[in-house]
Structure 1
Amino acid sequence: MGAISAVFLVLLTIIFPPIGVYAVAGCGADLLVNICLTILGVFPGHIHAFYLEYVYYDRREQAREGRFTAGRAPGIYSERVQQGGGGYGTIAQST
């Protein structure tokens, strides 16, 4: 079921990048940045949206395997994306 939702999210992102960013990061700074990049041109918005989705799914897979990258991904402001959709203490971060 996860692969189907990922494919659907990619299709939505191809059509309109801010929809994909909203689905992954929610309403916040990442969405505002993506809207501005989409207004500037087609490709910057798509690149930013796909980068967010890549980091989100990569971090989510790492959390499932029990490992987590302690460093923050550059250019991403959403904690939801940084933690791969986890949070609320579900992923132990090293200090």
Structure 2
Amino acid sequence: MASGGCCTFLEILLAIFLPPLGVFLHYGCCSMEFCICLLLTILGYIPGIIYAIYVLVALDSEERHREYYTLA
């Protein structure tokens, strides 16, 4: 599911304050990304933030590139 720039900004902003919440809004509750983010946030707040931002920004851009390749 492709999200707009405003939604991505909101998810990243939420990921800074509550990292699992930003990942939950993008991937859902039972996804692997959410579980990893929750575990990292429990173990340490900073690793949870770093992982959440990485997942929201880097993996989202990879999914967009895959969509373009399937259209070609």
Normalised by the length of structure 1, the TM-score is: 0.59
Deviation, structure 1 residue 38: 0.3
Identity in percent: 29
CA distance, structure 1, for counterparts of residue 50 and residue 20 of structure 2: 11
Cα distance change, pair 15–2 in 1 and its aligned pair in 2 (3 A): same
Shift of 1:58: 0.4
Task: Give distance in 2, aligned partners of 1:30 and 1:60.
Answer: 14
* More relative contact order, 1 or 2 (CA 8 Å, 6+ apart): 2
Match of 2:50 among 47, 51, 64: 47
Output aligned runs, 1:1-95, within 5 Å: 2-27=4-29, 28-64=31-67, 66-67=68-69, 91=70
Residue 85 of structure 1 corresponds to none
Unaligned runs of 5+ in 1: 68-90
TM-score (norm 2): 0.74
Unaligned runs of at least 5 residues, structure 2: none
Report the count of equivalent residues.
68
Larger Rg over CA atoms: 1
